[in-house]
Structure 1
Amino acid sequence: MEEGFYLKTSAWKYSLSFVLLLSLWQPTESFALLEEEEYEEPSAQSIEALDERWTNYEEMVEELFRIEEMSEGLLELDVIGESHQGRDIYATRMGDGDQVLLIDSEIHGNEKSGTEAIIDMLDELAAGERDHILEEVTIVTVPKLNPDGSELVKRQNDISWEEVLEYHPHLEGAEPAWYHNESRNGFDINRDFHPDLDFEAEADDLPGTSAHYGFYLTNEARALADLYQELQEEFGIVESYVNLHHMGTPQLEGTDQDVSIALSHPPLGPDNNPKYVEDYPEWDQDKSRRYNLAAAEGIHAHAEDGHEAGLARYTYPSTFDLSGIALGAFGLNGSGAVLFEMAGQQPQVPYDQELIDKVTAGLWGIAESMTDGSVHELDGDAFYDIPKYWPDTPPVSDPEQYVFDFTDDVVGEQPDEWSPIWQGEDEQLTIADEPLRLEHTARSGVRGFTADAVGELYGSTEIFALVQGSNIQNHVFELGFHMSGSPGSENDIYADARLPDDEYENGTVRIMQRSGGSSTTLGIAEPGFEVSEDEWYRVLLQRDAAALQLKVWPDGEDEPDSWQIVTTEDNMYGGQVGFSHSTPGAVNDFAYIGVGVGGERAPHADDDHLGEPVDPPEEGLIRNLQPAENRTLAAGESVRIAFDSDPGLNAVFSIRLPLTSQSQPPTELPMWESSPGQYVGYWTAIRNLSVQGAEIEVKVTDADGNETRETAEGRLNIN
């Protein structure tokens, strides 16, 4: 095995770094695009029960060394990382071309045909049968990216969350990443990627959702991302990336034809998704479709009659947006990214050399098209001519933004841009002024209104509102999207805020779902402020692929950095946007509504939309006053009194004893500035004094003679 083959000018670094194998609880919802059908996992001994023709880890290592020797220097072999169980992760390199093709297999340990195809491909290259390719293309492979899962014949790798924390102690206390599966003791490695290839997770990032980036918590994902970066540094761009998988056993739509191989480009929402275009300018979905077509042409050319009847497009609902999988992360970095999904998984589906040969043919199709440049002449849209096996979904809405500030409406009249839905009635809406706003007076029943200009939407949506509620009884507002249905059978997802109660001192904010008229709480949180009526709030509700996220904050305060609620829902994507309420007599005032669709952000009201902004109170002059907790003193014992403030002030403190006459002010004792802005004083308990709950008050006086007083939270108990 030769070291240092990836960078011609310097040694290729080993990636034996973090040993964190990440794992996914296996989602069962339909949102799991690229969530291949999963069966009951075999036991750890099942590797012995597999068809002996499958290449296990030890045999793969022997094969790679055999091919290296046979190639007489053509194949270069190196280790790019190490699994949690101590197995080396191998990579190979062949060719001197100025464009690079990166292929990996067994990112899921129960999906084995890809490794066999890679070995067959390397054998043929080492035998000198495709030297013309190696003159134009450098081929890099990572067979068995997940060696631990491969040996256990399971999807995940093999690491507990407790072991994860040993490698990432700064994540202590965080929820496990959403793709770590406790019952199967491991991560779905193919959810552990991020298009920022240097990303390092913080505790606040976890647990995440399927719509969010991965966290690079596994050794395997980190090793592959490091390899990808090394290739970027050498070649400028990784021209094509191929991810080899297995799936279930579907049939082509409307036929009894079994699918043999399904192909897909990265599932990243609409082309030119505004979520990505600015940060990832190299991203090119049409390029990925061309490389998928090159794979398809190779597979068809291998078929006896020039047509592989079982070739299909892989499941790709228009709403799917998975930047946390390897295909998405590397596609965003500019690679023509191709997913192979072979029918069936191991151990249920046996070794199938015919299927493996089809995979190899698809890989040759990509490599040959890179060699002669024909991949660049393909029409990417022809990818959609490949048959599919899944029902149609509506196209996602085009990126667009909408603003409703009611400046074109007439005060005292009904607005023109809003229509009733369910039991809503036009006369419930009025344009009011001071401030200019849309006023909604609720009646009995679920009554809603939708924005005519926006119309029917499908997919990712974001809605912002500047809203207040009065005469509300309990919940302040209802703001949402995916509104559809009829009276008694309403459908929507909406945000609301509820007043404080015995359980929640500050009240709650919630994400709710109506489906067929029945309501379900999807997420609930207690905000850091007290919810009340007759107060203006800023509300931001977002659907980002399968993720639903909400933040609510008082007008005049800064928008929170993080969402108060993050959850998932994967059934309701279509409908209209708007508002509703079901409390008779409740009044909602909307001073501003912004809507973003197709990946666009919702416009927000300016900070001073309601007039001059109300500045939050400045931080008190006396800060971090100590003691903050009660202290018990015996005669002769002392207490330290301290606080932070501006430097150069005059500071004193006093001890206020219970039942002391207010006409006899306590003695003020001096404090000194121990360092700039830090003030300290001491008080010693005297004999024959026994009191409970004595207060400590400090006073500071600035250069203009202005006094500020504050009482410490800690009280003194003197025995």
Structure 2
Amino acid sequence: MRKTVISLLSLFMLLSVFASSAFAVQNHPSTKGETNLSSIQTYDGMIKELESLEKRSKGKLEVFTLADKGYEYNQSEQGRDLYVAKIGNGPKKVWVQSRIHGDEPYGTEATIQLLQMYTSNQSAQYREVLDELTLYFAPMYNPDGSEMNIRQTVLQDGSEKRVDLNRDWAEGAFEAVESKAWYSFWADIQPDYGLDIHHQGLKTDSETGQAITMSLGISLAPGGPTLPYLEDGLYEDITRQMQVHVYDALKGYGFTNIDRYTVGGNLEIDIRGGVVSAMMLGLNYEGLNEDNHSHPAIFFETSGNTREGNLGQRGRGHNIRQNTLGIQELLHGLATEEVYDADPERWDEIPHPEIIGYFTDHSGIVPVGY
């Protein structure tokens, strides 16, 4: 298929915008004191919370490290253990990862809040989720970046190179030990679904001017160069259904204002090098995924992050709560299979600008109708 390339000037301008997104390659500094981080969950605080929840869960919750499970790669670059929280006994497995970017904190806190609900609440809705699903949470995928309040991890091979872990599941990549560790675990589990929790810069609705609190995204764009050709188009439908289900569940809350994730104003992303993209593509690294297991995966983008000195315009509590609700509603929809009742074509009803193309890491900028 012929692919038209947008002018170099346009490409430069779009790259500048794209650099602030969840899938950006460019490095970002810490906030240098512009954000009060005293309320943000630390690595040690996360461990304490998880261990406390495990003790109170009466056997429901299992907390372990990859070292506990005997993985060859099992710590961060700086030697921190990589923690997993597992809950549920159902046949369908769901992978939920948070804080792959260290300066995007609310996914960790939402995970802990959700685990508190699952370990203490006896409602039929929660029991159904735990009966139908087995949940694997990676609440702090990037502990080193989280402790340093930077986007990346830092290699400890003497180079001090910063590596964006969300771009490190790719052929010729896997530079960071965290990537090898988490990939090995994912390849063993072989989940059925995946969810990645991110932050983005502050944004407003182009029509109303209202602050956007969350964007819903799919890292391989529906209708784009990649997703329609995976699994005979199956992931094209399921990923949209998952996000439509979340949108319907959250749009009625007064503290949420949701749109679709775009970059450069009018582009959707088609990033084959991202972690959740690698999951959908069935990446086989060093023979660890010989059957090319793959599964649908989506991401949430909470508006606001520590690198920009602002953690959101609706307040910390509301932002954590909307993530918790979004994860909760998605998991319940998967457990009941209500997700499959959603019309995938209603993806277009979620507010978004007119899409003119796809920002890719494989073919430059690809216009709609390529």
| DSSP-derived class of the 2:180 partner | helix
2:261 to 296, 314, 320: 314
How far, CA to CA, are the matches of 2:101 and 2:226 in structure 1? 28
How far, CA to CA, are the matches of 1:107 and 1:274 in structure 2? 23
Q: Is 1:100 the counterpart of 2:93 in the alignment?
A: yes
| DSSP-derived class of the 2:110 partner | helix
Residues 222 and 228 of structure 2 are in contact (CA less than 8 Å); yes or no, is this contact kept in structure 1? no
TM superposition shift of 1:346: 1.1
Per-residue CA distance 1:553-596 (angstroms, 9 max, x = gap): xxxxxxxxxxxxxxxxx5xx569xxxxxxxxxxxxxxxxxxxxx
Q: Is 1:326 the counterpart of 2:275 in the alignment?
A: yes
Tell me the residue number matched to 1:135. 131
TM superposition shift of 1:375: 0.6
**Inter-CA distance 324–368: structure 2 relative to 1 (3 Å threshold):** same
Residues 246 and 342 of structure 1 are in contact (CA less than 8 Å); yes or no, is this contact kept in structure 2? yes
TM superposition shift of 1:40: 4.2
TM superposition shift of 1:270: 3.6
| DSSP-derived class of the 2:247 partner | helix
Tell me the residue number matched to 1:225. 183
Tell me the residue number matched to 1:119. 112
1:29 to 10, 13, 16: 16
**Inter-CA distance 373–274: structure 2 relative to 1 (3 Å threshold):** closer
How far, CA to CA, are the matches of 2:296 and 2:113 in structure 1? 23
1:362 to 326, 333, 341: 326
Instruction: Give the letter for the 2:259 counterpart.
Output: A
How far, CA to CA, are the matches of 1:96 and 1:361 in structure 2? 21
Residues 149 and 306 of structure 2 are in contact (CA less than 8 Å); yes or no, is this contact kept in structure 1? yes
How far, CA to CA, are the matches of 2:18 and 2:144 in structure 1? 27
How far, CA to CA, are the matches of 2:329 and 2:135 in structure 1? 13
**Inter-CA distance 70–338: structure 2 relative to 1 (3 Å threshold):** same
Correspondence 1:542-691 to 2 at 5 A: 544-546=362-364, 598=370
| DSSP-derived class of the 2:203 partner | coil
Instruction: Give the letter for the 1:219 counterpart.
Output: V
TM superposition shift of 1:544: 4.1
**Inter-CA distance 357–38: structure 2 relative to 1 (3 Å threshold):** farther
Tell me the residue number matched to 1:193. 169
TM superposition shift of 1:67: 0.6
How far, CA to CA, are the matches of 1:331 and 1:247 in structure 2? 22
Which structure has more helix as a fraction of its residues? 2
1:65 to 24, 27, 51: 51
How far, CA to CA, are the matches of 2:180 and 2:229 in structure 1? 22
1:242 to 195, 200, 219: 195
Tell me the residue number matched to 1:336. 296
How far, CA to CA, are the matches of 1:273 and 1:329 in structure 2? 12
Residues 257 and 309 of structure 1 are in contact (CA less than 8 Å); yes or no, is this contact kept in structure 2? no
**Inter-CA distance 274–40: structure 2 relative to 1 (3 Å threshold):** closer
Residues 295 and 364 of structure 1 are in contact (CA less than 8 Å); yes or no, is this contact kept in structure 2? no
Per-residue CA distance 1:496-518 (angstroms, 9 max, x = gap): xxxxxxxxxxxxxxxxxxxxxxx
**Inter-CA distance 309–62: structure 2 relative to 1 (3 Å threshold):** closer
TM superposition shift of 1:136: 0.7
Tell me the residue number matched to 1:264. 217
Tell me the residue number matched to 1:431. none
Correspondence 1:262-661 to 2 at 5 A: 262-268=215-221, 270-271=223-224, 273=226, 277=230, 284-300=235-251, 303-304=253-254, 310-315=257-262, 320-333=269-282, 334-346=294-306, 348-350=309-311, 352-388=316-352, 391-394=353-356, 544-546=362-364, 598=370
Residues 299 and 359 of structure 1 are in contact (CA less than 8 Å); yes or no, is this contact kept in structure 2? no
Per-residue CA distance 1:294-351 (angstroms, 9 max, x = gap): 22233235x15xxx65111111655732111012111234423121111111161246
Instruction: Give the letter for the 2:341 counterpart.
Output: E
TM superposition shift of 1:31: 5.1
1:144 to 133, 140, 144: 140
Tell me the residue number matched to 2:11. none
TM superposition shift of 1:230: 1.4
Instruction: Give the letter for the 2:257 counterpart.
Output: G
Instruction: Give the letter for the 1:95 counterpart.
Output: G
Instruction: Give the letter for the 2:30 counterpart.
Output: E
Residues 271 and 285 of structure 1 are in contact (CA less than 8 Å); yes or no, is this contact kept in structure 2? no
How far, CA to CA, are the matches of 2:27 and 2:154 in structure 1? 17
Instruction: Give the letter for the 1:75 counterpart.
Output: L
Per-residue CA distance 1:162-210 (angstroms, 9 max, x = gap): 547xxxxxxxxxxxxxxxxx7xx4111101113xxxx5x3xxxxxxxxx
**Inter-CA distance 28–126: structure 2 relative to 1 (3 Å threshold):** same
How far, CA to CA, are the matches of 1:275 and 1:223 in structure 2? 30
Residues 321 and 545 of structure 1 are in contact (CA less than 8 Å); yes or no, is this contact kept in structure 2? no
**Inter-CA distance 319–288: structure 2 relative to 1 (3 Å threshold):** closer
Residues 220 and 227 of structure 2 are in contact (CA less than 8 Å); yes or no, is this contact kept in structure 1? no
Tell me the residue number matched to 1:41. 30
CA RMSD of superposed structures (Å):
3.1
TM superposition shift of 1:382: 0.7
Which structure has more strand as a fraction of its residues? 1
**Inter-CA distance 574–110: structure 2 relative to 1 (3 Å threshold):** closer
Q: Is 1:85 the counterpart of 2:74 in the alignment?
A: no
- Asked which structure has the greater RCO (Cα within 8 Å, sep 6+), the reply is 2
How far, CA to CA, are the matches of 2:57 and 2:158 in structure 1? 40
Tell me the residue number matched to 1:55. 41
How far, CA to CA, are the matches of 1:379 and 1:274 in structure 2? 17
Per-residue CA distance 1:225-255 (angstroms, 9 max, x = gap): 22221121xxxxx222111111101101222
How far, CA to CA, are the matches of 1:103 and 1:112 in structure 2? 14
How far, CA to CA, are the matches of 1:94 and 1:50 in structure 2? 32
TM superposition shift of 1:380: 1.0
| DSSP-derived class of the 1:102 partner | strand
**Inter-CA distance 309–120: structure 2 relative to 1 (3 Å threshold):** closer
TM superposition shift of 1:376: 1.0
Tell me the residue number matched to 1:74. 60
Consecutive unaligned residues in structure 1, runs of 5 or more = 1-26, 165-181, 202-214, 233-237, 397-458, 461-542, 547-569, 576-596, 599-719
Residues 56 and 150 of structure 1 are in contact (CA less than 8 Å); yes or no, is this contact kept in structure 2? yes
| DSSP-derived class of the 2:95 partner | strand
How far, CA to CA, are the matches of 2:367 and 2:186 in structure 1? 38
**Inter-CA distance 85–285: structure 2 relative to 1 (3 Å threshold):** same
**Inter-CA distance 222–114: structure 2 relative to 1 (3 Å threshold):** same
TM superposition shift of 1:370: 1.2
